[in-house]
C-alpha cells in the first residue's frame, strides 16, 4: 500500500494531507490503513478526555486513581508511538526531544 504525506496536530487531533498554518506539528508518511488506526486512537483519546473532564468535577477522586485518566495517558502514549513509527526524521527527533516515550528504536 502506498504511503502518503500527512500533517498532524495533536492538540486538534487533525490528520491532513493539506498543510495549513497550524497543522504541521508532526509530519508522517502512512498508508490508508495506518491513518485509520491513528484516527481510531485519536478518537479513543478524545473520548477518555471527555470522560475525565466530567469526572474532574467529582472532587474526592484523585487523578491517579481514575481509569479514564489512565486510558487518556495510554492513548497519548500510543499516539506518540505511532507518530514516531510513521514520522519523518524531524518528527522522530521532536518526539525524542520531548522524552515522552521509553526505549525508542529507529
> Where in the chain are the domains?
31-98
The length of the chain in residues reads 106
Quickly tell me which residue has 485509520 as its cell: 36
Give the pLDDT of residue 72.
Answer: 80
25 closest CA partner among 85, 88, 74: 88
Q: Which of 105, 90, 76 is nearest to 24 (CA)?
A: 90
How many C-beta atoms lie closer than 10 Å to residue 29's C-beta? 14
- Please, are residues 32 and 43 in contact by the beta-carbon 8 Å criterion? no
User: pLDDT 10s digit of each residue in the chain, 106 long?
Assistant: 899 999 999 988 999 999 988 887 899 999 999 999 999 999 998 887 777 665 555 566 555 565 666 788 888 999 999 999 999 999 999 999 998 887 665 5
pTM of the model: 0.79
Residue 86 exposed, middle or buried by CB count within 10 Å (0-12, 13-18, 19+): buried
Amino acid at each position: 500500500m502506498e504511503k502518503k504525506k500527512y500533517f498532524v496536530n495533536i492538540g486538534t487531533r487533525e490528520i491532513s494531507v493539506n498543510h495549513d498554518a497550524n497543522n504541521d506539528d508532526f509530519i508522517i508518511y502512512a498508508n490508508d490503513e495506518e491513518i485509520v488506526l491513528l484516527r481510531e486512537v485519536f478518537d479513543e483519546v478524545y473520548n477518555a478526555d471527555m470522560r475525565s473532564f466530567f469526572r474532574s468535577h467529582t472532587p474526592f477522586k484523585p487523578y491517579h486513581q481514575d481509569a479514564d485518566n489512565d486510558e487518556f495517558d495510554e492513548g497519548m502514549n500510543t499516539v506518540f508511538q505511532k507518530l514516531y513509527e510513521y514520522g519523518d526524521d524531524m518528527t522522530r527527533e521532536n518526539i525524542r526531544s520531548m522524552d515522552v516515550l521509553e526505549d525508542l528504536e529507529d
